Amino acid sequence: MPLTPTGDIVRTAVSANQGVGAFNVIQLEHAEAIVTGAEAAGCPVVLQLSENAVRYHGGLAPVGAAVLAVARAAAVPVAVHLDHATMPELVEEAVGLGFTSVMFDASVLEYEENVRATAEVVARCHAADVWVEAELGEVGGKDGVHAPGARTEPGEAAAFVAATGVDALAVAVGTSHAMTTRDAELDFDLIAELRAAVPVPLVLHGSSGVADEHLTLAVERGMTKINIATHLNQVFTDAVRRSLAENGDLVDTRRYLGPGRAATAAEVARLLPVLNASVLAV
């Protein structure tokens, strides 16, 4: 199965009223685990590299090439996405490497400036057939600058999409980045209002803080791309911690990263159907 355009994966999900799991990669083992989990579930998936993860690796090219190679070898459709990019140069580099989509995050800027910068990135990415996600109404939790009370206003969201030409919009509906408990209170009525007002797919960031049944309901109300990072890191690290605790003499990194990778793959296989289930009420 070739590397698949993000737009194709998301469009198919929208027409089937389903969600798309978008999971963040830091180590190569994350990418391997996410694809193994998606193959087990028989679902397409998005591998995401954030600007912060790129900074950790000291550059995009080596880690980006590795993630793209994992995607190209997958047995299910896999897209590769640059997440929370604030630097247009990094977007350009991702496009050049073959990433299928980018999130350009100018959400800390004033509205007019966010529109101008985003529209410029959209024009350049569309010229290369690359799908663009942007954000309006900063999702809380990053660096403590915003509370989970941040909300995207539907009229402003529709105007932003019209003014920028973005392909998908990340909206603030009650989640907060990097939660380690799954008890975020989503504003389901706002999700439905945004779905009705905004003509492009909606993206839920900070989904680690959302319980399974609320993820299902969020998709049912109109969210499509579901971004999950911290939760998988928790699963990975718990398994590593267990391995190290059980055998204090471990030296070979494969002996503890391997169990982390296996646990992460199992959790991805469990979570993907949660995004495609149907519920009647919370």
DSSP string computed for 226-244: EEE-HHHHHHHHHHHHHHH
Tell the smallest beta-carbon distance from residue 59 to ligand G3H (Å). 20
**Residue 179 is a binding residue for ligand G3H (CB under 6 A):** yes
Q: Which is nearer to ligand G3H, 52 or 253 (CB)?
A: 52
C-beta of 106 vs 240, nearer to Zn ion: 106
Residue 238 known to be catalytic: no
Secondary structure (3-state) at 101: strand
**Smallest separation, CB 249 to ligand G3H (Å):** 33
Length of the chain: 282
The reply on whether position 207 binds ligand G3H by CB under 6 A is yes
Contact (Cβ atoms closer than 8 angstroms) between residue 95 and residue 67: no
Question: Cα separation of 127 and 130, whole Å?
Answer: 8
Joined together, the tokens standing for residue 167 give: 């392909």
Binding string, 53-92, against ligand G3H, x = CB under 6 A? ------------------------------xx--------
Torsion of CA 200, 167, 152, 273, to 10 degrees: 70
CA 190 to chain centre: 20
- Segment lying near ligand G3H (by CB under 6 A), choices 9-17, 54-62, 123-131, 203-211: 203-211
Catalogue the active-site residues. 83
Q: Site residues (CB under 6 A) for ligand G3H?
A: 24, 83-84, 177-179, 205-209, 227-231
